[in-house]
Structure 1
Amino acid sequence: MNWRALLVEDRIDWQSILSRTLMSMGGEVDVASNFRQALALLEHTRYDLAVVDPVLDNANKYNRDGVRVINEIQQRYPTTPLIVVSGSVSHISLPGSDDLLRKFPIIEKQTWNKETFVKLAQDALHGVPLPARHIDRAESVITSSQEMPVAPVDGERKGVPRILIVEDRPDWQVILSRTIEEEGWFWRTVRDAGEALHILREEKIAFNIVLLDLRLGDANIPLQHAQGWQLLDYLTSADLATQVIIVSGEASRGDVATLFMKYSISGFVDKDSFHKYELIGLIRKLTASAKLRIQTLGDFRLWRNGEIVDDFGESAVETLLKILMTRRGAPVSVDELADLMKSESVAAADLRPLINQMRMILEPNLAQPGDSSFIVREGSAYRFNFSTNVRVDFIELEEIQSEGKLYEQEHAYANAIKTYEKALRIYQGEYLPKDRFQQWSVQLRSHIQTKFAKTLNRLADLYARDGRLEEAIATAELCLKQDAYHEATYRRLMRYHACLGNKNTALMVYMTLEKLFREFFQEEPSAQTRELRDSIAAGEPVPCVEINRKSS
């Protein structure tokens, strides 16, 4: 089916959006920007479809040229289907136009949906009666304040993405600002490159994202010489942490290819096929916090998005991070931090730049350090936020230990063994070994070590329960390397060796324990341990699994 459409629209970007959409449906399109051009085209052609913006001068909302075009089409070709595309309902509240416009379906640019438009156009071309939209007086009176959401006040909405919209079209300003406002993000709107440069250079607001229209102004110059494109040159060459998303209705495929090859833009949104959830998803992806993986057991290492971070600039920055992590998410005051970092010769007044340096190391794309997802300020205190995209080995170890206990309680012993074996793989050594003698690390190191020793004993008992006595012995011996004075572990070793028929080895384990306790504590092993020794020495059978495991 060959068909031709008349598009009457004064804006270049919407001419592009609508004409490309119509041509993608297989039609040919004639474009008119004003009443005279439309009238000249109507003199020679009867169109299969007309698409008309009733206001053909965006600066003058009372301009009636588009309505005059609609009236002319109706008089000349009353059977030609017609779709109205408007910047807003208020733009078509023109004297004498209500009755005429009630006859036709209206597509509002603020809520543009390509699929809806295509469906209407296809119905029209196939002779399906188009639904007329009734616009009563209450609906048509929409003030500009209702169309444009109120921008958030400076200082509001901390910790959320901050977006600068650089767009000269009022309708697209509304579309984009509404989209962002619905997400509760911080935003500002400017109309040209000068305003954008001022707010980026002079104001104290640091933006994560700039949504940039490439045209911005004169529609008669080539796109790559347009104001928006020139602003892009600055944004991508200046030392800014701001990421740029191009939002354009005019860029060709070649333009898009040039953008991605020549400029470090973070995304491209085509107004022609605009869908707000795609833009929201892109912004969320770009502003998501980095993913951290931190090793504290056996050594200290940090990976950001899978890459090792081996340069903290100053040793004090690394120490600061370790202290905050050691406090397990509890706020630490500035004064206490300074006291704990005396060995680094750090005063309270020096902490803020160190904290900001640490924030930028963890999340290099922050627009400003205060946006950090990991290092959070609460009054005059700071804390490490473990609830974001971070994996820390000693936290994972505790979670696995708890999971293993649950499996034991459910008598799912095979699952408990697999879970405790994961703990063995995670525990690479003591907590922050290079900071062994630092006051702030002692308590957590002791807690982790004691808990891991108990996990080893539980695993050893599970091995012994299954008759895997060699593995039980190896696990118990590993436990003694964590805590050489843990009496219950010696009893386990005595049982395991006795169950294997190694009576002498079992008694040697007791002798080692007895000597250790006499030398260091001037004590004898407990009555429970001495009774086990006597049973083994007498050749009596003993249980292979420790019965009382409360102190394990």
Structure 2
Amino acid sequence: MTHRALIVEDSDAWRQILTELLEDAGLVVDIATDLEGARALMRAHPHRIAVIDLSLAGRDHRNRDGLEVLAALQRHAPDCQAIMLTGYATVDVTVAALREYGAVTLLEKNRFSRREFKTLAQSLLARPDAQAQDQAQARDNAPTNGFEPLGLRALLVEDDAGWRDLLAELLADAGLDATSAASYGQALIALRDHAFALAVVDIALASSLAPDANEDGLRLLARIRARGVPVILVSGVATPQRLDAILTNHAPAAFFEKQAFDRRAFRQTAAALAQPPSPSPLDALSPREREVLDLLAQGLSNKAIAEAL
């Protein structure tokens, strides 16, 4: 039997995130953006889980329509397990949601973890009856999101901490172990010390030389591709003309724009592109010998290499 989840959220971005996570858990998702829409869906379908935003009036942080949705759930669907979601949590609101309105928990958006949410959803699905518990156990034993653990390493080069965390989590969902680097230099060291099945590289990596506009990611792309590693480029700043030139001249295996980022497509692309590193004579070199080889590749003289070491 397929179960349903109800999302009541006025933010399109959060609706997308929550829908993806609940569908990954095997639920059919119904979506409402306000109190009246939520009431209509409650009357139309039974729901196992509901995820409800506290404020359903855009930027009006005083709005508490989410509590009214919880009250409606208590009347129309007392067996539905509700999660309250908010960006403006207070002690009073938390106590009211949990004690008076029956939410099983309250999650803060600024501390939201996709992995913890998926674990929470699975635990809620396991609660009501033996059949549901058996189904949840089967999901727990299955690979997350349908991807088998690949046992492969991916290089993630991203200077924005928020994007770095998100991309690392998506790579893990795709079965890849991410090694993260926040700069061109950190990425070079990672390339020296490890073999990678995939690389995800942001075009612009802030540096002391060009903190506002640089394309260290493209310099790095050439080094990575020389090792036969497929590269996914991501960017949030390039103009259409610059993107045309990048895709023509550098030919990454895939490209994602941050402004229109599709999490599911990224996971699928990462899993499809990852390939075991080919054996290389360089694997026999020590880290010190690899460092010397990298300096030689940069065109340094013996004297300059000696000074660098």
Q: TM-score, normalising length from structure 2?
A: 0.49
More strand by share: 2
Q: TM-score, normalising length from structure 1?
A: 0.30
| Structure with bigger RCO (C-alpha 8 Å, 6+ apart) | 2
